[in-house]
Structure 1
Amino acid sequence: MTDERRQTHWETRTEALLAVASLLYLTSYAVQVLAPGLPEGWRNVCLAVLCAAWALFAVDYAVRWRLSGQGLRFPRTHWLDTLVLVLPLLRPLRVVHVYETVQRRHGKPRLALHARVAAYAGLSALLLGFTAALAVYHHEHTAPGATIRTFGDAVWWASATLATVGYGDEIPVTPVGRLIAVGLMACGLALLGAVTGSFSAWLLQVFAREDDERPPGR
């Protein structure tokens, strides 16, 4: 079996487990951020889940690196995987990939390409917005001069930033918060561009189909 086939086999066998671990990681982080008065025992449980999930991510990264046979080129050619390992809050986005894989296992995906782009962009935006709101609230709500004091403020800020609206009524004041804002703005532009481009392509196909079906002479 070639290196590529072994890596594909590993990813197929572990993707569901990693997706569950990603959601558990996000849930544990959310509980720690949104429930500061949680008993010490439960906080330790959440911390244990966070550490165990990240360790699983690290093992998966190391195995795929070994199976790739690329040596030191692997971090460069798989820069997104490397980024996700450093920022594990982005791991829940693997749920989108898992859904696509499950659909393909059952044959042709049920949704058309344009509908899949819109659905995946919507799911990605939901996960990114929630994750960014958690992270910004975590770092901002106790900062001096902060305007993001509640989780509701953080959700409103994340929604406005992801939609590239930027009202300016809620702004991050910490370096980490501003770094998250830059990443969220970039993701918002990419998702908006993907949805807009897919919708435009769909309209062009509809108009072209109507022209082809129109009787000659009209």
Structure 2
Amino acid sequence: MKKRFWNETLTVLAVAFLVSFSYPAFTSEINAQTQTILDAIQWISWTAFAADLIYGIIRAESKKRYLKSHPLEIAAVVLPFLRPLRLLRIVSFGSLVIQKVVIGRSFGITIRVFVTTFFLTYIAAIQITLIERNALDSNIKTFGDGFWWAITTVTTVGYGDRFPTTTEGRVLAVGLMMLGIALIGVISATIAATFVKMMQDDSKNV
């Protein structure tokens, strides 16, 4: 019961952090009071996630194995903008339900990957907007610009009308490109597996 309550609390904090993290990308001016509230939310969420990670390490029989099997928890503490990744547990649970009740396993995995990619694309759009907005030669000034850039990058379209000019932005772009390549690979593999299964089924019916 306590564990469930704590997990739900961390999920709520992840949502709160996502809101506080996203808000600055949608407005160019934030007053001191609002900034204080946003900072407080982020510090509270960081403290809770750090405490959860430390507690898990202390309780684990094999600390090395625990660290290897909990990459999201580590990412949530080390890289603050990845803290909303905890919400992917909800995505994973929903995908498993779809996978078992409605459709096949491979398609369920594809949905999970697709939703996860879209979620990470949104985070990248927020981050690139915050990074690039005040750069001198930047062409990404609003969240709309950042989201358009993120979508064209993750889908490997790359129109080139929006692009990062800072070092931090380019590093983020590389990560998003790798994510896009992985997404295309998963979707292609799923489509191929579907056709193979259809051919096998047809062969059995002959």
Please give the range of the TM-score, normalised by the shorter of the 2 chains: 0.7 to 0.9
Q: How does 1:1-218 map to 2 (within 5 A)?
A: 14-71=6-63, 74-75=66-67, 78-101=70-93, 108-214=100-206
Identity in percent? 27
Q: 1:171 to 1:107 in 2, by over 3 A?
A: closer
Q: 1:107 to 1:55 in 2, by over 3 A?
A: same
Structure 1 length normalisation: TM-score?
A: 0.81
Distance 2:179 2:29 in 1: 33
Distance 1:11 1:167 in 2: 47
| Shift, 1:11, TM fit | 7.0
Aligned residues: 206
Structure 1 residues 73-82 or 44-53, which shifts more?
73-82
| Shift, 1:46, TM fit | 1.6
Check whether the contact 1:146–1:173 (CA below 8 A) recurs between aligned residues. Answer: yes
Structure 1: gaps (5+ residues): 1-8
Check whether the contact 1:32–1:46 (CA below 8 A) recurs between aligned residues. Answer: no
Check whether the contact 1:117–1:195 (CA below 8 A) recurs between aligned residues. Answer: no
Q: Deviations over 1:15-69 (max 9, x none)?
A: 4332322221111111123223333222211211111111111111112222222
Structure 2 length normalisation: TM-score?
A: 0.85
Indicate the structure (1 or 2) with the bigger Cα radius of gyration. 1
Distance 1:40 1:51 in 2: 16
Distance 1:102 1:163 in 2: 24
Check whether the contact 1:19–1:98 (CA below 8 A) recurs between aligned residues. Answer: no
Distance 2:7 2:35 in 1: 27
Q: 1:172 to 1:42 in 2, by over 3 A?
A: same
Tell me the residue number matched to 1:6: none
Structure 2: gaps (5+ residues): none
| Shift, 1:164, TM fit | 1.5
Check whether the contact 1:75–1:82 (CA below 8 A) recurs between aligned residues. Answer: yes
Distance 1:12 1:103 in 2: 20
| Shift, 1:157, TM fit | 0.8
Distance 1:99 1:76 in 2: 21
